[in-house]
Structure 1
Amino acid sequence: MTNTRGVDMVADVRCSVGESPLWCTEQAAWYWVDIPARTIWRLDAASGRLDTWQTTEMVASIALKQSGGLIAGMESGIFSLELGIGPMAAQRKLAAPAGGLGPGMRFNDGRCDRQGRFWSGTMCADIAANRPLGNLHRYTAQDGVSAPVVSGLLVQNGLAWSPDGRTMYLSDSHPQRQLVWAFDYDVDEGMPSRQRLFVDMNSFAGRPDGAAVDSDGCYWICGNDGGCILRFTPDGRLDRRIDVPMLKPSMCSFGGAGLDTLLVTSISAGKAEGDDWAGAVVLLRPGVTGVAETLFHG
């Protein structure tokens, strides 16, 4: 691994759009995806071994299933993925929004709530089109894909839950928005309410991309185009900034044996001059612990 500024680069990995990192405690391994490359990556933490699997559609967000394998938000819907010894992931489409996603749309950022329901949002792949057609959906095996729970999104991102699961966070990372919202979250019904502004990222470095929550209930958001990760307290106050050696960090996730390591993916697409770490996947120790991701229960 290459180290700079207290940050370790994972091998010589360069992702076009690295996203959705997560830690698997049972395997002691990290997972993440490269969206346009249609690739799932796995890093064994002990040996450093890297494995990859291809998918037939772009895969944007993944979560671990209680029954094994992954659940994923992809181009046309929600899929179950099994990762075997071959180069291709075994795919099974589980559901899609009523009427489909529409031309040029795909799923984006996603993860499970604290009760094991899978959430993911849709977006228009052509960001420059400025089309607020994105919706946030909930998926369960019993009910399938929900009707839109939040609508009018340009680039859905930043999905996370407080440690007790009673606050949900969501961002829109489009340059015309750059906002993070908080919601009250009904843990029994799996429904957010009372949407309010949590952070206006137009006042801070970078656009709000993927996020994670630590054991103190603080919200860590990647400042895409800002080369940093920002930590906000539950009342929306910035209390920490970690600079990273790539301009476009895209998502972060806590893991490692003590949940004290942060894995950060990044983007090389549209690489800026001098951004030598563009697309890198890095590990760092932020000095706090995270909250384990909940497995999908369906």
Structure 2
Amino acid sequence: MPPASLSELSAQNVLYARARLGEGPLWDGDKQVLYWVDILNHRVHVFEPSSGDDCHWDVGGVGSALALTAGDRLLVALGNRIASLDLTSGAVETLHTFEFDAPDTRFNDGKCDPQGRFWIGTMSPDHPGQAALYRYDPDGSVKTMETGLTISNGLGWSPAGDTFYLTDSPQRKIYAYRFDGETGEIGDRTVAIDLSDEAEAVEPDGLAIDSDGNLWTALWDGGCVACFSPAGDALGRVKLPVQRPTCPTFGGPNRSTIYVTTASVGLSQKEIQQGFYSGDVFAIAAPAPGLPTTAFGA
């Protein structure tokens, strides 16, 4: 799709959720449902686009990132631990607990790589540089993959599986790393996208990648989802009627829909009135399909 045509795309409100901090959308192709979290309300949601039904589980803490796993279960990054959520009973079982140095640190965004390893980053907004990125493997082992971050955010892999992308929101940068799928190692970091020339408040948040290798990132306080080529060229933006989009993901029968979670947290009454649908879930018809969701341990 030519860059100019992206501005012609529109975002449709598909779920009136009014979440405080909607995040972590995850598409389940087998069940044709969208999992997502309302972090500050401690909820993991299950949204069925075909019927419009949405239900949720209270996980008892700040669940921020999800991964598919075997059976009727999800992996949940929950504060300072990785847990398993039983989707039939709502039971939460801790699998691994982490010790973070800074007191305000918690998990933020996460995703499985093409080999089924769960990558989750932390955020430490009051202690810049104290956040990190971890890799949780199916054998239960954990490895620190990157340090020196402040809000580890949107991450993803190129269609060829040889490039890994990671966002540090306050730096307003998306980094690219060489990725070795066999070993799960990363290296040779470069800046793929630099938004430091944007308006002061705009930060890149969640990230999704389509089958052409284009990067789609939600711009927090930017009211849009921006698209960039693998070379880092700006291809255009799709506006949303809310100030704080948080994360896009590809879903639908052919992964031809971009679902976008949004937030209302921290907005003034005037800003909420201007963005009445803040916290809802939106859908955009994708110019190119997205990559399939990889389950943990796949």
Q: TM-score with structure 2 length normalisation? A: 0.91
Kindly provide the amino acid, as one letter, of the partner of residue 60 in structure 1: S
Higher percent of residues as helix: 2
Paired position in structure 2 for 1:69: 73
Matched, 1:60 2:57: no
Kindly provide the amino acid, as one letter, of the partner of residue 132 in structure 2: N
Paired position in structure 2 for 1:294: 294
Paired position in structure 1 for 2:3: none
Paired position in structure 2 for 1:267: 263
Q: CA deviation at 1:287?
A: 2.1
What whole-Å deviation, never above 9, does each CA across 1:182-226 have from its counterpart, x for those lacking one? 000010010110011111111346311000000001111111111
Structure 1 vs Structure 2 CA RMSD:
1.6
Q: Residue 245 of structure 1 aligns to a residue in which SS?
A: coil
Residue pairs, 1:125-136, within 5 angstroms: 127=125, 129-136=126-133
Runs (4 or more) in structure 1 with deviation over 6 Å come to: none
Paired position in structure 1 for 2:31: 27
Distance 2:16 2:107 in 1: 28
Residue pairs, 1:237-252, within 5 angstroms: 237-252=233-248
The answer to whether the 8 Å contact 1:271/1:278 transfers is: no
The answer to whether the 8 Å contact 2:102/2:127 transfers is: no
What whole-Å deviation, never above 9, does each CA across 1:74-130 have from its counterpart, x for those lacking one? 112111111125xxx211111133x45652211100000011100001112xx3x24
Distance 1:224 1:54 in 2: 25
Q: 1:160 aligns with which of 156, 163, 185?
A: 156
260-269 or 65-74, larger mean C-alpha shift: 65-74
Residue pairs, 1:115-134, within 5 angstroms: 115-124=115-124, 127=125, 129-134=126-131
Matched, 1:169 2:165: yes
- Cα 1:66–1:163 shift into 2, 3 Å: farther
Distance 1:11 1:198 in 2: 32
Q: Residue 36 of structure 1 aligns to a residue in which SS?
A: helix
Instruction: State the number of aligned residues.
Output: 284
Q: TM-score with structure 1 length normalisation? A: 0.91
Kindly provide the amino acid, as one letter, of the partner of residue 43 in structure 1: F
Distance 1:228 1:76 in 2: 30
253-262 or 156-165, larger mean C-alpha shift: 156-165
